[in-house]
Chain A
Amino acid sequence: GENVEQHPSTLSVQEGDSAVIKCTYSDSASNYFPWYKQELGKGPQLIIDIRSNVGEKKDQRIAVTLNKTAKHFSLHITETQPEDSAVYFCAASTEYGNKLVFGAGTILRVKS
């Protein structure tokens, strides 16, 4: 089955800097790659997603890139703010989200 690895496990950046979180997946049939943000005491919430027919997607300060050949995808957050501090999860699915396999998560701390 699908296996998703996520790095780093923790990331500290200065406010205003960029943050990059990387994930690799094992199943070449995966076609949907979402990123979730989990704030303290809450369930994960989708922040951006990408399908396999697209190489990059951007939404304001957040972007995701996908390299299907290398089977990895990345989350890029620019101009980080303290409210970006949270746990971020990547995931992959072979059925457009019908069954998501998650990475282990990255704790992002933005220092002001």
Chain B
Amino acid sequence: DVKVTQSSRYLVKRTGEKVFLECVQDMDHENMFWYRQDPGLGLRLIYFSYDVKMKEKGDIPEGYSVSREKKERFSLILESASTNQTSMYLCASNGQGRGEAFFGQGTRLTVV
């Protein structure tokens, strides 16, 4: 069974902390994505990567960075967490030009 696994279901962090969200996929997919999900706003793309060490900004990259050192792993980094980054974060992956994206179960991050 194909899988995208996010390291945490729930996280509570303090304002100003550096936060790491980890995502691993076992499908040998080239593309990996980080989305943020907020009520009424749908899924908004933060960053995506189409190859190891490659990354591109999505629609809302401010306050975030990413790392992809290995093909199966894509990390989202909040350099200095702020309360407006409280949200659900979803990781996804798909093969190059292959359409269907597979999502992880999500990480609900609360910044206090």
Are A and B physically bound partners? Answer: yes
A interface residue numbers (CB < 8 A to B): 1, 4, 6, 9, 32, 34, 36, 41-46, 49, 51, 89, 95-105
**Which of A4, A9, A101 is within 8 Å of B40, CB to CB?**
A9
Within 8 A of A (CB), among B67-103: 90, 92, 94, 96-103
Interface size of B by CB at 8 A reads 28
- Least CB distance from A38 to B in Å reads 8
Asked if A99 and B98 make an inter-chain contact with CB atoms under 8 angstroms apart, the answer reads no
Q: Does B34 contact A (CB under 8 A)?
A: no
Q: List 8 A-B contacts (CB under 8 A).
A: A34-B100, A42-B105, A43-B106, A45-B103, A46-B100, A100-B45, A100-B101, A105-B43
Asked if B101 and A97 make an inter-chain contact with CB atoms under 8 angstroms apart, the answer reads yes
**Residues of A close to B42: CB separation below 8 A:** 4, 6, 89, 102-105
